[in-house]
């Protein structure tokens, strides 16, 4: 990541996007955040793009990226954190308008942003992109559009990394596990999700904190990961590692300290 440019964070007003923008700004990066419902981040130097930004609209993305670079300078880092999470349903109950909305924002939006920014980076010979996928894209669950979209994000990450690697652009993904965002807490409060169920199959027996995902993203943007491209990094408190242990009777008792 080039320190004389900016880092653009989509979905930057809330959740993992907000945590990432805050961390990067505190690290001294020049950060611009965009969001469909833009709100400033208190206590940071992150710059809010004041107009609603629709990542699923090709016209809005192309013109918006050009406007942002004219106003704030070239984009040397991109974090695609904008996304929506659908309702849990059996396949027969999935409404296709909801399916289309999730695919459009989570997958189409990620691709449009990565393409629009990545082509500019490739012409300049440098840049780093991090796409926020999910462990849902690596497993199965009754969130049919979301799992499909996030699996697609993982795939396009690898493909774009291969396409732009020789042009000096790195493209990686992080796959958060169950992360303690406001949205997740609201799901728990409503009864749609159960905290014990969310944590009991993780090796670390806990939720992920948004800032823990942000630290992984910051590393993938930084020169410290200069030879890393095309990977999908789970940040999941050991959900993937631990998800099968219940079938074998669970975990051994932790010895007393």
Q: Which of 127, 125, 173 is nearest to 1 (CA)?
A: 127
What number of other Cβ atoms are within 10 A of residue 194's Cβ? 11
Locate the domains of the chain by residue range. 6-238
CATH superfamily of 6-238: NAD(P)-binding Rossmann-like Domain (3.40.50.720)
Chain Cα centroid distance, residue 147:
14
Residues 7-19 have a mean pLDDT of 97
What number of other Cβ atoms are within 10 A of residue 110's Cβ? 29
Q: Is the pLDDT of residue 237 over 90?
A: yes
User: Is 248 known to be catalytic?
Assistant: no
Q: Which of 122, 104, 100, 102 is nearest to 112 (CA)?
A: 104
Q: Is the pLDDT of residue 117 over 70?
A: yes
What number of other Cβ atoms are within 10 A of residue 240's Cβ? 17
Q: What share of the chain has pLDDT > 90, as a percent? A: 87
Q: Is the pLDDT of residue 3 over 70?
A: no
| Residues β-bridged to residue 176 | 235
| Residues β-bridged to residue 32 | 8, 47
pLDDT of residue 89: 86
**Residue with tokens 């709100």, as numbered in its chain:** 39
Q: Which of 53, 85, 111, 146 is catalytic?
A: 146
Q: Is the pLDDT of residue 1 over 70?
A: no
For 71-115, write each residue's pLDDT tens digit.
999 999 999 999 998 888 899 999 999 999 999 999 999 999 999
Whether the CB-CB separation of 132 and 221 falls below 8 Å is answered with: no
- Phi and psi at residue 108, to the nearest 5°: -60, -45
pLDDT of residue 161: 98
DSSP 248: G
Q: Which of 97-101, 236-240, 253-257 has the lowest mean pLDDT?
A: 253-257
DSSP secondary structure of 111-159: HHHHHHHHHHHHHHT-EEEEEE--GGGTS--S-HHHHHHHHHHHHHHHH
Confidence of residue 256 (pLDDT cuts 50, 70, 90): low
Q: Which of 3, 128, 11 is nearest to 78 (CA)?
A: 128
- How far apart CA 37 and CA 14 sit, in angstroms, is 9
pLDDT of residue 2: 42
For 118-166, write each residue's pLDDT tens digit.
999 999 999 999 999 999 999 999 999 999 999 999 999 999 999 999 9
Whether the CB-CB separation of 79 and 130 falls below 8 Å is answered with: yes
For 169-188, write each residue's pLDDT tens digit.
999 999 999 999 888 888 88
Three-state DSSP state, 47: strand
* 224 token code pair: 């410290």
What number of other Cβ atoms are within 10 A of residue 75's Cβ? 23
């Amino acid at each position: 990541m080039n320190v004389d440019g900016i880092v653009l964070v989509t979905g930057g007003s809330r959740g993992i996007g907000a945590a990432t923008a805050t961390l990067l700004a505190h690290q001294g990066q020049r950060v611009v955040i965009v969001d469909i419902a833009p709100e400033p981040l208190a206590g940071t130097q992150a710059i809010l793009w004041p107009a609603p930004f629709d990542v699923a609209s090709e016209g809005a993305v192309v013109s918006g990226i050009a406007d942002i670079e004219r106003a704030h300078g070239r984009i040397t880092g991109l974090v695609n954190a904008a996304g929506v999470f659908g309702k849990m349903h059996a396949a027969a109950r999935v409404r296709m308008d909801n399916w289309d909305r999730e695919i459009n924002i989570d997958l189409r939006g990620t691709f449009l942003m990565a393409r629009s920014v990545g082509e500019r980076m490739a012409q300049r010979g440098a840049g780093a992109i991090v796409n926020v996928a999910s462990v849902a894209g690596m497993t199965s669950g009754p969130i049919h559009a979301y799992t499909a979209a996030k699996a697609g994000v993982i795939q396009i990450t690898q493909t774009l990394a291969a396409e732009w690697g020789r042009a000096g652009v790195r493209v990686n993904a992080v796959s958060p596990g169950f992360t303690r965002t406001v949205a997740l807490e609201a799901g728990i409060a409503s009864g749609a999700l159960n905290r014990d169920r969310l944590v009991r199959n993780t090796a670390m027996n806990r939720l992920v904190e948004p800032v823990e995902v942000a630290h992984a993203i910051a590393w993938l943007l930084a020169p410290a990961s200069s030879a890393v491209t095309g990977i999908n990094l789970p940040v999941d408190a050991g959900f993937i590692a631990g998800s099968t242990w219940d079938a074998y009777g669970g975990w051994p008792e932790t010895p007393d300290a």
